[in-house]
Each structure stands twice: as structure tokens, then as C-alpha cells.
A and B are shown apart, each in its own frame.
Chain A
């Protein structure tokens, strides 16, 4: 058992390799954690826990393989096994994310959203983003997860199956139902934007 890692690295070498290979995933990982927990502090804790676990199991990580999928898998397992049990409160919509954008001068309440010609302006882009965020945050966490992995992070079905420990067929059906649900939530808004025929 002791010889299974082959070449032994010094701690410095191991740390350097760890940082070089895994820290570049910090941004997507934190975003994933935030979309799961909907809380910045919780996301922070979850990401730290994920990296510490990854460090402990780094010998089992094959260099050059998909570091992003590996970390996402660890994070998702931590979230399910420990995190979701710890936090008793149900998932809540985070309004702090939205607040900043409503202070912008050229947004005048809901009336400003109606015109599709305004879509190029940044404030309206922000409003669309807010609408999408609250629709997404209102979905059950399993639905939210597949949409984030697929549409935001661009994982393939095969990678998603590995991250979530489910068969590809289940990835597909879950994604399909998640999108229907998201569509429903955005439908009313889409109509007001003139998107829906």
C-alpha cells in the first residue's frame, strides 16, 4: 500500500503542484458553491472544505486529468453529505445580489423592462440577469445544479454524470425537467419582453 503513489514529492513540490493545478478552478468552484448555498459565507466554507479534502486526496488525482470535474464532484458531495444537513434553513433567494443594480439611475422600476429596444443598455442586461437569477434560485437544488453545470460551466453530459454519480440518462431527464421548470418561471417575464409568441 505504501508504494502506490510511486514517486514521493516533498511537501513544497506537492503544494506547488496542488496550487498550479487546482487553484485555477477557484472561480467556477466558488460560483457553483454560491449557487448551491445561496449564501456567500456558506460558499466560502464549502469551497475551503473542498480544497482541504482535495489536498488530502491529491495523491489519487491523476495529473492532467479533469481537475475541474474532480473538484466539482468533491464539492457537490460535501454539500450533500455535510452541508445540507448542517444548515437547517431552506434555500433562500439572496436579494443582496440584486440590490446594487436597482440603484442605477436609468432604471425606473418595472416600466423600464418592457421595451426590447433597451436590451443593449447595461442596466437592462442587469435586470435580465436578476430575473434569471431569482428564477434559477427558486428551483429545487437538484434542478439548479444540472442547469449550472451544463449551461453556466459547460460540462458535457458525461462529465455531469460523473460529478453527480448518476447515469447519463438521468442527467438528460433531470436537465429536461429542470429546463421546463425554469421556462415556466421565466415565461411571464419572457412575455413582457416580447420573447414569447
Chain B
């Protein structure tokens, strides 16, 4: 099933060729999510050693993920919930 949002993929730059930096931008999420292949990782790491804007984008993306996983508070499960689930299951034949 599809969402109400139109999914679009990033367009190639005007001349139809991707610059190295464009490729790096596409790898950002894969890198911070640990989904990049070994080849992608080494391509990425080599590039950001020399390219300051891409290095900074990587830092920002890591920071953003860190804000969510490190600072978003977890809500506390009400104690009664597990009990009522168990009770309702026992009633179910």
C-alpha cells in the first residue's frame, strides 16, 4: 500500500551526470544507518577526507540521528497494560 505522499527520487544534475558530491549525499543515510556496503563505505570515507562540505553534511546527519536516539524520551508503559493483555488473552478461546 502506498502513502499519501508522493515518493520522488533525487534527480540527476542538469547535464545528466552525477557529481561525486551528489553521490555522497545519496550515501549519507546509508552511512549513518549502517546500511552501506564495504565499497560504499570506502568510497564515502575517501571522499569526506578531502571534501569539507560533505564532511560537514555527514557530521550534521549523524548529529540528527543522535538527537532522536539519544534524547527522545521513552514513555513509560502503564503497569496495568500487560495485565489486561494477559487477562483478555485468557478469555479468548
Contact = CB atoms under 8 A, between A and B. Distances in A.
A156 B4 CA distance: 23
A97 B75 contact: yes
Nearest to B90: A15
Contacts of B29: 172, 175-176, 179
Contact of B85 (A51, A126, A157): A51
Interface residues of B, number: 39
Interface in A144-179: 147, 150-152, 154, 156-157, 165-166, 169-170, 172-177, 179
Interface in A117-163: 125-126, 128-129, 132-133, 136, 140, 142, 147, 150-152, 154, 156-157
Nearest to B77: A30
A3 interface: no
B56 interface: yes
Interface in B1-23: 1-5, 7-10
List of 7 A-B pairs having minimum Cβ-Cβ separation, nearest first:
A151-B68, A129-B71, A30-B77, A128-B71, A142-B3, A51-B85, A129-B73
Interface of A: 11, 15, 18-19, 23, 26-27, 30-31, 34, 40, 43-44, 47-48, 51-52, 55-56, 80, 97, 125-126, 128-129, 132-133, 136, 140, 142, 147, 150-152, 154, 156-157, 165-166, 169-170, 172-177, 179, 182-183, 186, 190, 195-197
Interface of B: 1-5, 7-10, 29-30, 33, 35, 56, 60-61, 63-65, 67-69, 71-75, 77-78, 81-82, 84-86, 88-90, 92-93
